[in-house]
Amino acid sequence: MNRKSSAHYQREFRRRLREQGLVKKEVWIRPENAKRLAAVEKQLRNPEVSTWINVGEVMANNTNESTGLWTTESLYQALEKEALFATGSASVELIEGVEPSIYIEMKEYGDLPVFLTVSGEQIIVEAVLWPQSVVTDVEGFNDAILRTHKYFPLSTISLDSMQRSESDYHVEDYYHMFGALSSSSLISNVVFEIDVLANNVIQATEAYSEFLNFDADQSVA
């Protein structure tokens, strides 16, 4: 699988929203309400919504029937049943191996790939942002990240070494965005974390565009 920059998925995300007849509106809220706003925004994209939404209902949690911690396999089975995947808004696939992981494609975010792994008492949800090679001012960019990443709720940015693709073994540094939550989390919280991460990837690509120099095929929309 060739790795595409988050700018590609940002462009696809915006195109698909426009095709649905949606418009972008800027809002100003208190930082602690970011999680509630993300949930309400998701609901307001539904064309059948005609009345005000009860935020408490939007944020309601399901019950984790498991008495222990999630494993990658059990979490995959639970995610398959969730509306996000059952309705086709996203696809989910279990990648077998010594350390199995879950591969997710967020359809409404331009098929943005998200990876989920369970390790002991922690669930990690992450997505690739872009290679360090497209950053025009690495020092300035890293400083900007440290000062601003808290504005992306529930997500953090890291720098990791990885090969470019399955067919290209050259190792390069890539920026990732990830979120972490407990392996005992409710399944609704896991789904919410996945959606928030995908949205934050799109937002981060726009927020840090001044530091990025993509080629013509990956230009920031």
Structural contact between residues 19 and 11, judged by C-beta atoms closer than 8 angstroms: no
Widest distance between CA atoms in the chain: 53
pLDDT digits (tens, 9 = 90+) for 19-39: 888 888 787 877 767 766 776
Indicate whether 221 pLDDT > 50: no
Q: Taking Cα atoms as reference points, which of 142, 135, 145 lies closest to residue 220? A: 135
- pLDDT reported for residue 77: 94
Give me the pLDDT at residue 220, please: 38
pLDDT at 151: 86
In what order do the strands lie in the sheet containing 101-106?
90-95, 101-106, 112-119, 122-131, 171-182, 156-163
Residue 12 pLDDT class (50, 70, 90 cuts): confident
Mean pLDDT over all residues of the chain? 82
Per-residue pLDDT band for 3 (boundaries 50, 70, 90) equals low
pLDDT higher than threshold 50 for residue 57: no
Is pLDDT at 168 greater than 80 in this prediction? Answer: no
Asked if 27 and 148 touch (Cβ cutoff 8 Å), the reply is no
The token duo for 108 is: 């409404």
SS3 of 66, please? coil
Domains, the chain, ordered by start: 6-218 (3.30.1460.10)
What is the tally of helices (H) and strands (E) in the chain? 7, 6
In single-letter form, the type of residue at position 144 comes to A
pLDDT at 44: 75
Query: What's the token pair of residue 95?
Result: 């990648």
What mean pLDDT do residues 102-128 have?
94
